Structure 1
């Protein structure tokens, strides 16, 4: 007969069985949870490895020294985003400023200590430097600290002080890295496409004195625009550093009278026998916001060439372009075609264009229609306007219709009482941002009225969407004539 425990025995065993079941359940739960956590961590680790930062594989990486020139009035605002993006792929860089400090864990070096003491005592712009040395940022009037160049804050002492950094900066960079082959100089609102830059530099002989930049003229001097970034080979840096040390008094007097340090540097390089190489369009003075995507200079359509820098980039734009670059290089491994301006437009800009974007200024800088503009017309010129044009400033719809009437018009913007249309395509920016910086379009973008929260008080923009494909096709046709995406001659 099969053994059957008595009911009394079962009653005695139940507590032990229950405890065992509970222990087993808890054990299995924690084992499962542990396995789950381990698997999740493994999945995250695998994903991080798979989607980790993609950096260039160029052998030139160890030979390039990147120098960022900034100032105390902007460093804390503009530098951190670079440490999280582009500079994660730059193995050797330094930051020069007008004050020693730590920004986001990185040392920033004062580069003005070699300037003549008499000049530092007498030149008005050095009042800011004295303040920084003695008090740091305490008590600074930030109302005048932002913007640069003729279109920026005219009383910006930080910008006026900046011109004194260029010659000390290049001299100090050579002292820091005497064996580097290439020295790359950028500003904290310059976006550096490091992969493309390394590819570009590989086309040049580093044993020769190269001064590579975006051309600019001022006071009869040809020089490389600092905000667009410029590159010096070691031989060029050695020549200009020698000139700086031999003619320091003369150069400082020229700096005292001049308005831009990059101009003084260009003049000193020229005097040292180093000519500037015109690298346009690789190095750009505009941002993704302000760039006219059909821009052509020196018979070069930027659209067809590889991009290397953008200027006046804010933190959001830098992050967007960095993330796009990372995605691009994951999908297009090293050794493929370089990233061109048209690739950036088609993959990063084009999908942001709309028939209407509220609270957006697309920087339409063509013809303006407003009561103020119309009253300046002669009666004959006014009569020659279509009925739609005469009423363009009265509504968003009439502004759009005015653009549509003009065969080459690609975009428009409307603020109550003002309509602007343009044949040049730009992305623009959110309507609450300011157009303070120096660029091709600075000072010409729509200055929206102070908003009251009502939609009617906010600038609205639009693109003629059915013209975009033709615009892209037209630009692509230029590329059939471009046999090399790099300007090396």
Structure 2
């Protein structure tokens, strides 16, 4: 006969089993393999680590991490993160606790070999030529850190790590690519970012799934030095396996070939582009605004930044990375629950970050208005940048003629113009600045009187435009032949 106790135990066991089945079914619906947006041909959902290594560190595989539920887990994309020993413990831990925990494989490079929470950090400069290092003050920081008997931060009080770190950084990029390809030669895509770059992993995976890694690609947000185009390193740049093979596999020792060139150049991302062009005949392809150097507070929202998916942002501090990570995960859950998931677009960042904070005026604030300036030319000598962005005086309307007098005059002039001429303004020290995009901006030090920085937004224009553009009929991925 069954006792009351045995019946109770059996019922509890049955209930627990049903609960487990229901939970696993629910979680199964959130996995990337069930999401048509992130299915890509030929790449397994739970891939084993690449041969010869056990993964990047002491963490569960993303497929086993509940924080990564619903995230794509491809086996063909490698993230390479660049940092410096003087900043690594301030920046890398947050990346490891957020974005990188859902990236199946990644490498971290610095200017010193370290371990952060059990994760290896590789010395990108270990193979720099002796000729480039000897007598070169650019390597003072490198030598001091290697000789430091205590914590790096303590030893760096003897120098200027910000300036020294910048001088040292330019030697890293080509060596990082060379070491990366030797350590992980089997990937389709190599994504190079800085430690203050935010990677929107689901968007990135979806986008790269559309492209052909067997073609030579070097994708970035283009900037120029002396007319030469290269991908801005902080925004991140992406290199296909065909390009990496042509650069590294077919050019042994390519890193050292550019050490002396790096000494006389400003920036490592520029030197990397030179190396790719010289050795692989690959030039950067413009992927802005999808690869982006701004962040939520500085993104210029409007027709040029709206229905575009975004895969990177830059200059994100630890708090900003954590906050955006929480937003991105919430957005992802909502999209999967809708049954029609789509990429996170720039307009979604507006609705999350700027729309709730939109107001007519903000004191001691810089909203980055700089498309057009209004000043009294006779009041003082203005810089060329200001004068170059002024309309001819004979094109002013009556309110524009007095826009320079005060913040209220600047606001009135902005309101008198159509939306494609002005949706926000900033007034400071006799200068009225207007902008065609709307930007959140940042606080600035308080100043008294005329020198106080006052920013304002034409809320009515912005709300009318965003309501009209509420739905994106077409998602605007960058134009690129696969």
TM-score with structure 2 length normalisation?
A: 0.74
Equivalent position of 1:465 in the other structure: 459
Tell me how far 1:303 sits from its aligned partner.
2.0
Equivalent position of 2:281 in the other structure: 273
Equivalent position of 1:287 in the other structure: 295
Equivalent position of 1:10 in the other structure: none
Determine whether 1:403 maps to 2:408.
no
**268-277 vs 187-196, which deviates more?**
268-277
2:129 & 2:221 partners in 1: Cα distance? 30
Determine whether 1:318 maps to 2:330.
no
Check the 8 A contact 1:374/1:382 in 2, yes or no: no
Equivalent position of 1:331 in the other structure: 334
- In structure 2, relative to structure 1, the CA distance for the partners of 1:233 and 1:303 (3 Å cut) is same
C-alpha RMSD over aligned residues: 3.5
Tell me how far 1:353 sits from its aligned partner.
1.6
Check the 8 A contact 1:180/1:234 in 2, yes or no: yes
The number of equivalent residue pairs is 406
Equivalent position of 1:24 in the other structure: none
Equivalent position of 2:353 in the other structure: 348
Tell me how far 1:383 sits from its aligned partner.
9.6
Equivalent position of 2:208 in the other structure: 201
Unaligned runs of 5+ in 1: 1-41, 147-155, 296-300, 432-447
Determine whether 1:131 maps to 2:174.
no
- In structure 2, relative to structure 1, the CA distance for the partners of 1:387 and 1:235 (3 Å cut) is closer
Tell me how far 1:309 sits from its aligned partner.
0.8
Q: Any idea what SS the aligned residue of 2:258 has?
A: helix
Give deviations 1:59-105, integer Å, cap 9, x for gaps: 52x22221100112322222232122211211211210001223455
- In structure 2, relative to structure 1, the CA distance for the partners of 1:55 and 1:114 (3 Å cut) is farther
Residues 445-460 of structure 1: matches in 2 within 5 Å? 448=445, 451=446, 459-460=453-454
Tell me how far 1:385 sits from its aligned partner.
6.4
Tell me how far 1:229 sits from its aligned partner.
1.0
Q: Any idea what SS the aligned residue of 1:304 has?
A: coil
2:356 & 2:309 partners in 1: Cα distance? 21
Q: Any idea what SS the aligned residue of 1:420 has?
A: strand
Equivalent position of 1:487 in the other structure: 479
Tell me how far 1:54 sits from its aligned partner.
4.2
Check the 8 A contact 1:68/1:187 in 2, yes or no: yes
**95-104 vs 387-396, which deviates more?**
387-396
Q: 2:108 aligns with which of 82, 95, 101?
A: 95
Q: Any idea what SS the aligned residue of 2:134 has?
A: helix
Residues 28-427 of structure 1: matches in 2 within 5 Å? 53-58=67-72, 60=74, 62-135=75-148, 136-140=152-156, 145-146=161-162, 156-270=163-277, 271-294=279-302, 301-333=304-336, 336-369=341-374, 374-376=379-381, 392=403, 395-407=406-418, 408-415=421-428, 417-427=430-440
1:186 & 1:230 partners in 2: Cα distance? 7
Check the 8 A contact 2:424/2:435 in 1, yes or no: yes
1:390 & 1:59 partners in 2: Cα distance? 58
Give deviations 1:329-363, integer Å, cap 9, x for gaps: 11101862211112222333222221122333211
1:455 & 1:103 partners in 2: Cα distance? 48
Check the 8 A contact 2:296/2:353 in 1, yes or no: no
1:458 & 1:346 partners in 2: Cα distance? 29
Q: Any idea what SS the aligned residue of 1:292 has?
A: coil
